[in-house]
Amino acid sequence: MSIMLLLVALTCSLYCTSAKINRRFVESIDDIGDIRRTKCTGDCLLLYDTIVSKINKTAKPCESMYSYMCNGEENYQQTGYPNNVLLKIQTHAMNILSSPVESSEPKFFNVDKELYQQCIKLGSDWQNEEYLAFENLRRQLVKYVKENKKWQDLEMKIDSLGFDYTFFDINVIDDPEEPSRRIIILQPPSLKHMQTITNKMIPIMKRKYYYEKVKYFGEFSAFDDLFDFIKGYLKEPVQVFLDSLCRIETTVLQKYREKRLLNIKTTIGDFDNFFEQLSEINEFAKIDWATIIRRTFQKVDIQVTDKESIIIKNKPFFIELSKLLNKTPNNVIVSAVLAKLITENLVYIDWNLSQTLETVNKQSFCLKETKLYGVSHKILYKYIADTSDILLLRRVEDIVANIAEAFVDEILTTYTLFSRERIYLERKLKSITDDLLEHVFYSPFNPHADLEMTPSYFFNIIKYRELLKHHRLKTLRNPSHFPLPFSIREVEKARNRFILYTLTNSDVLLSPTLPKGVLYGNYGVKVSAFLYALMNENIFIDGIYHYDIPDWFAYPEYSEDTISCYESIGIIDFNRHQVMYMITEILGLQIAYQAMLKDNYIKSHNPFSINLLSNNKITMDQLFFSAYVKDHCYANSRMVNKILLNSGYFSNVFNCYNYKSLKKCPLQAFGTRIGNIYFREKLKML
């Protein structure tokens, strides 16, 4: 956990907050109904003069562009700003959600409101509706446990009731080998979530009040033996079992991460046969994966066969899981499944009791319960409804479109890419940028139109999640099946992060009279670097696919050859992650520069011959790099200079080829990526 936090902090300080980030989007949220803008006057000229006229002419750009642009500047740094933006957006979302439900509003907007307001009432009075909803669940489970003693049957029953599987997750994602298709993925549960539940379980079970509630609701025969056994002890079968489950995932990740043997693409039949053969060895349990996966998709009227392709994320985990299940008595596994279900849902059954175990802020908790599609749509709708906002959006689209075109050029000209890699990358680029360029986030799609609200929040929220899960499963046969709209909650999705990032960094675009060199050197580089990082994320790396915090940073990966080359060029004081940041920034700089040259205005004015000020002869492309450095005066001067001097464009613009500190590592935008796990023959399957 500490390593993850370190990565977040490092990425935040070095990458996501590397500029004077726009406050205008946040200010518009403060008074969403009254958005006022000031026309570009002397402030624009002041900004312009700050970039151009403050040049330190005694410094040489090729020796230190940092000194050339930042001499005497006061260093500053705005750490944590992206998350602060999200927090402010979420605060405004809570204000919207707390307002009265209006019949004139669209249903998808009112569903957000009703669920939030029901959630806020948890623990405020005797919640008969919640008890009745849970009583219905109890009766079904009690009957099922008594009739079917196998844990696999119980897992499938729980899934049919709208809850998640205990030991694994079944979902649908884009097929990395065939970008036009969708594919099933089988993956471990969230390690962080499982550890949290495990840590809560024994303190909960040792409380007499909780025990009586479970006896009242549950009457599960398995619980009788469980409570008698653990009385007065910290270690007991269920706790040991779940602790072992958490250790499996941690151990497997540490053991196999470097070898990159964690993930495979196979078929359901082959995967099932593999475990069938394992079960013939006494050390492994028999798990009927084919039946589990088949029944999962039958819920949405999709038939899958043994020939259906499937991605197994972290295959060694499932092998070790089979060992653990084999040596654990079935009644202990069943007890663990039921105890986890009770522990996860205690907050709905008895909010006040749950707070004695872990105190949480109710407003924050209730905000995170839904995806906020309706509220997110309303916030963005208001944001771009004003005329000045529409003009700003057009400027954003103009620059992003040129950046996307530059990315396509890089993808097509990178000779190290396979044909299917090019297809995959182009599709990924399109999936990230099209929402912004085609206003998909602006479409009022209702992803939960079939949700009929009841007095029970517990019932409603489970049904809500089930509907969204069914929506994802249905995309297996129809990839274009109603793509879900923009959400301020789903920041694990690259397209959502990209929309947030482009809008919250668009401050400089409010000044349309600024030269395009400034806009691309400041805003364009930010967007290019962020987009490049999103393009090089690997969702199969643990910690990327499951987002547990409002984290919209990007975590790119590069080949060992690329990293080792840049580590060897004299960056003694920089660690590995700073080197990765530097590579991202160099490539973002190059892409943004290419995008600037593609800009119709720039092309029509020949950027290599325009004198922007008669007394300061600086061309458009020189202004591009000057604006970039001016925006990074807070940063480490050595790193800024290294970034620039490793960019071929900079050396060309400022004629730095006679200086010693030249680019020593070849760097091509998509020649540095590790490549998807299915694209490289050297990445052997298990």
Q: If you count DSSP H runs as helices and E runs as strands, how many of each does the chain have, helices first?
A: 31, 4
Question: Which alpha helices (DSSP H) does 560-668 contain, by range?
Answer: 560-567, 576-598, 600-604, 620-630, 637-645, 648-653
- Residue 486 has which token pair? 């923009």
DSSP state for residue 535 in the 8-state scheme: H
Q: How many CB atoms lie within 10 A of CB 342?
A: 22
183 domain residue, yes or no: yes
Query: What 3-state DSSP class applies to 187?
Result: strand
Cα–Cα distances in angstroms (integers) from residue 587 to residues 294, 499, 638, 646, in the given order: 44, 21, 18, 10
In a domain, 32, yes or no: no
User: Residues 527, 635: one domain?
Assistant: yes
How far is Cα 586 from Cα 553, in angstroms, rounded to an integer?
Answer: 18
β-strand 182-187 against 309-312: which pairing, if any? parallel
| Residue 628 tokens, joined | 């970039």
Q: Which residues pair with 312 in a beta bridge?
A: 186, 264
345 and 389 housed in the same domain: no
Q: How far apart are CA 442 and CA 444, in angstroms?
A: 6
Q: Can you tell me which residue has the tokens 């669209």?
A: 106
Residue 653 and residue 520 share a domain: yes
The last residue of a domain, from among 333, 364, 395: 364
- Among 364, 398, 427, give the residue marking a domain's end: 364
Note whether 572 and 639 are same-domain residues.
yes
Whose structure tokens read 């990395």? 176
Say if residue 209 is in the same domain as residue 175: yes
Q: So what's the pLDDT on residue 523?
A: 93
- Compute the distance between CA of residue 477 and CA of residue 45 in angstroms, rounded to an integer: 55
Query: Structural domain tally of the chain?
Result: 2
* CA pair distance 321, 292, nearest whole angstrom: 16
Q: For residue 84, is it within any domain?
A: no
- Whether residue 531 sits in one domain with residue 565: yes
Query: What CATH number does residue 181 fall under?
Result: 1.10.1380.10
Q: Write a three-state SS string for 51-105.
A: HHCCCCCCCCCCCCHHHHHHCCCCCCCCCCHHHHHHHHHHHHHHHHHHCCCCCCC
Asked if residue 410 and residue 272 are part of one domain, the reply reads no
Question: Given this model, what pLDDT does residue 311 score?
Answer: 93
> What's the token pair of residue 567?
């580590």
Distance CA 654, CA 65 (A): 10
Tokens coding 55:
């040049």
169, β-bridge pairs: 187
Separation between Cα atoms, residue 36 and residue 386, nearest integer Å: 9
Distance of CA 420 to CAs 255, 365, 408, 514, 531, Å?
30, 42, 14, 41, 20
Residue 609's pLDDT is 39
Residues 338 and 402 in one domain: no
Beta bridge partners of 174: 182
Give the side-chain half-sphere CA count within 13 A for 373: 18
Please give the Cα distance from 384 to 257 (Å, whole number).
Answer: 44
In a domain, 93, yes or no: no
Last residue of a domain, one of 345, 364, 383: 364
Q: What is the CATH number of the domain that holds 565?
A: 3.40.390.10
CA angle (544 as vertex; 159, 364 as ends), nearest 5? 70
Is the same domain home to 356 and 384? Answer: no
Ordered DSSP codes for 400-463: HHHHHHHHHHHHHH-TTS-HHHHHHHHHHHHHHHHHHHTTGGGS---TTTT----S-HHHHHHH
Q: Is residue 466 part of a domain?
A: no
CB-CB neighbours of 473 under 10 Å: 21
DSSP string, 211-244: HHHHHHHT--HHHHHHHHHHTT-S--HHHHHHHH
Residue 393 forms part of a structural domain: yes
Phi, psi (rounded to 5 degrees) for 613: -135, 135
Q: How far apart are CA 321 and CA 247, in angstroms?
A: 10
Residues 314 and 430 in one domain: no
pLDDT confidence of residue 78? 47
- Regarding whether 514 and 608 lie in a shared domain, the answer is yes
307/402 same-domain check: no
**Is residue 514 within 8 Å of 448, Cβ to Cβ?**
no
Listed in sequence order, the residues at least 6 apart from 565 whose beta carbon sits closer than 8 Å to its beta carbon are: 664, 665
- Is position 460 within any domain? no
Residue 79, domain member (yes or no):
no
Residues 35-65 have pLDDT tens digits of: 223 333 454 455 556 666 667 778 888 888 8
pLDDT in tens, 405-459: 999 999 988 877 888 788 888 888 988 898 888 766 655 567 777 788 888 888 8
pLDDT of residue 206: 60
User: d(Cα 671, Cα 562) in Å, to the nearest integer?
Assistant: 9
Give 170's strand partners.
186
The whole domain housing 251 covers 145-364
Q: Which amino acid is at 11?
A: T
Residue/partner pairs of 292-296 with CB below 8 Å, 24 or more apart: 292/152, 292/155, 292/156, 292/170, 293/170, 293/184, 293/186, 293/268, 294/268, 295/156, 295/159, 296/159, 296/170, 296/473
Residues in the chain, pLDDT under 50: 1-41, 43-44, 76-81, 209, 211, 214-235, 543-550, 572, 606-616, 675-686
